Amino acid sequence: SLRQHVPQGLKSPPGPRGYPILGNVLELRKDTHLALTRLSQKYGDVMEVRIGTRPVLVLSGLDTIKQALVKQGDDFMGRPDLHSFRYVTDGQSLTFSPDSGEVWKARRKLAQNALKTFSIAPSPTSSSTCLLEEHVSKEADYLVTKFLQLMDEEKSFDPYRYLVVSVANVICAMCFGKRYDHNDQELLNIVNVSEQFVNVAASGNPADFIPVLQYLPSRAMTLFKDFNKRFVHFLQKIVKEHYETFDENNIRDITDSLIEQCLDKKVEANTATQVPKEKIVNLVNDLFGAGFDTVTTGLSWSLMYLVTYPNIQKKIQKELDQTIGWERRPRLSDRGTLPYTEAFILEMFRHSSFLPFTIPHRYGLKLQRRWRDKVDSRKLWKDPLTFNPERFLSAEGTEVNKVAGEKVLVFGLGKRKCIGEPIARWQVFLFLSTLLQQLEFSVCDGKKVDMTPLYGLSLKHKRCEHFQVKQRFPKKSMN
Ligand code: HEM
């Protein structure tokens, strides 16, 4: 969290001494998540570092985070005004802009409702339970076919490149009612280079704190600005097409439903009265942007763990065989019946922690005094570095331990909590179970995947071109 002003007479929380002007920037510049973990072990769950001259409060530990984001939620719901965030959606982003007042609240509601209607709400027209199930099943089936074809033609491949288009297609289907070809260059120019975004939007980026750095040439910043331009351009074209073909009697997707909210006769009645029209429709930027990179990264880490721990992969497949069998594809309604698969997903979220921080919050200082001296030293996890899905299962292994599951905070907590959490969890479940029902994943003999996380807003891993798949059952046994 970022503090704006230091009132007189208030002692700062403990933290490392820094240099004049630079503060702690040198020790935080690389692998910020690891540097802060080390420092918080020394200074406690409420710690202050300085990046440049700006004080930054760093909170760790379950109780401390709950205290701030839930119990004192109102005081922590703002976002700081950071240099790089001004380039996201022309400074109008729901997620990154400093607005946290009534307009932000109304926009967040609108986005949440539109998202729900076109994902997990029961579908009146589709044969699936809901649109999300329909879209994910289709894309996962496509991936199975594509991976097998790549094996035939190339003998090995990099799955990320295909996962990202499939996941983007799911959010595209909900937002825009359309699907892209896996070779669509315009889409690939955005989704396949999301590191250009996450590198600069990472927590603690020095250029956000030391103004002089904003005037020095930076390749990362050039790529970031370019990325945001391409992104807005791509979406504006689609929104324009939607306006041109809009029909209030046939609301096709999230974009249509947001356009509908802007129509005059609706404006009187809904919460969006105060929200300018552009700020309603451009919510699709936030949904699309947050929706493709995060879920892809989660699925990609899942595949990395599956090839690193083949026995865990076999256990998931055994559970799938026993519970679903070979005669039909997994469905969303199977989720409660596959505890080991669910435990694997939780362990992937916990062990990778691929969103290592929330997006930064802003806070007012008067609040912290009551709880800042508290140090939460109880251990959260036994053997935290071991990858072990079973830590999330009941003693008999037949159920997911809910309390343990709730200790995994990748989606954040409180007023700024991720609005895509339910659909993200459903997607990861359905993609993985569909892929693993049909395919066995491995890497070429003698190769190993590199699990070292690369620091950013989301932690990526090095791409690996040595993935292989084997079909688990002859095609004819599937109906
Ligand atoms: C915010 C995690 C998927 C939409 C966030 C935050 C986190 C997060 C940590 C920041 C919370 C904070 O600042 O306190 C994740 C993870 C995902 C995922 C781990 C996938 C595994 C999605 C999806 C969508 C989405 C699929 C939408 C389609 C958003 C939005 C915000 C957000 C709009 C900003 C909320 C606000 O600032 O008020 N997410 N997310 N996310 N997420 Fe997600």
Can you spell out the DSSP letters for 137-150?
HHHHHHHHHHHHHH
pLDDT at 123: 75
Tell me which residue has tokens 């359309």. 178
Convert 44-64 to b/e letters by CB count within 10 Å (16 or more is b): bbbbbbbbbeebbbbbbbeeb
Confidence grade of residue 377 (pLDDT, cut at 50, 70, 90): confident
- 446 CB-contact burial (10 Å; exposed 0-12 / middle 13-18 / buried 19+): exposed
For helices 283-308 and 310-323, what crossing angle results, to 10°? 110
d(CA 411, CA 461): 20
Test site for ligand 1: of 66, 117, 294, most ligand atoms within 8 A of the Cβ: 294
The fraction of the chain above a pLDDT of 70, given in percent, is 92
Round to whole Å and give the CA distance between 186 and 402.
42
Closest CA to ligand 1's atom 6: 418
CA angle 431, 387, 419 (to 5 degrees): 45
Backbone phi and psi for residue 108, each to the nearest 5 degrees, phi listed first: -60, -45
Contact 231, 285 (CB under 8 A): yes
pLDDT level of residue 367 (50, 70, 90 thresholds): very low
Q: Look at residues 35, 62, 63 and name the one whose alpha carbon lies nearest to residue 49.
A: 35
Under 8 Å between Cβ of 97 and 85? yes
Atom number, ligand 1, closest to the C-alpha of residue 458: 19
Give per-residue pLDDT as tens, 381-391. Answer: 999 999 999 99
Q: What is the mean pLDDT of the chain?
A: 90
Which residue in 43, 348, 355, 2 sits closest to 204, CA to CA? Answer: 2
Instruction: Say how many C-beta atoms besides its own lie within 10 A of residue 154's C-beta.
Output: 11
Question: CA 251 to CA 344: how far, in whole Å?
Answer: 38
Here the ipTM equals 0.99
Which among 75, 346, 418, 431 is the best mutation to test ligand 1's pocket, defined by most ligand atoms within 8 Å of the CB?
Answer: 418
Specify the amino acid at residue 219: R
Do residues 123 and 416 touch, judged by C-beta distance below 8 A? no
Banded pLDDT at 371 (limits 50, 70, 90)? low
| C-alpha 420 – ligand 1 centre gap (Å) | 6
Identity at 478, one-letter amino acid code: M
Ligand 1 binding pocket includes 298 (Cβ within 6 Å): yes
444 labeled part of a ligand binding site: no
Over residues 241-281, the pLDDT tens digits come to: 999 999 999 999 999 999 998 886 555 555 555 788 888 89
pTM, whole model, 2 decimals?
Answer: 0.94
Return the exposure string of 222-238: e unless at least 16 CB atoms fall within 10 Å of the residue's CB, then b: ebbeebbeebbebbeeb
- For ligand 1, is residue 287 a contact (CB within 6 Å)? yes
State how far the Cα of 301 lies from the Cα of 24, in Å rounded to an integer.
31
CA distance 82 to 25: 16
CA pair distance 98, 1, nearest whole angstrom: 13
Is the C-beta atom of 355 inside 6 A of ligand 1? yes
DSSP letter, residue 417: -
Task: Tell me the mean pLDDT in the region 27-31.
Answer: 90
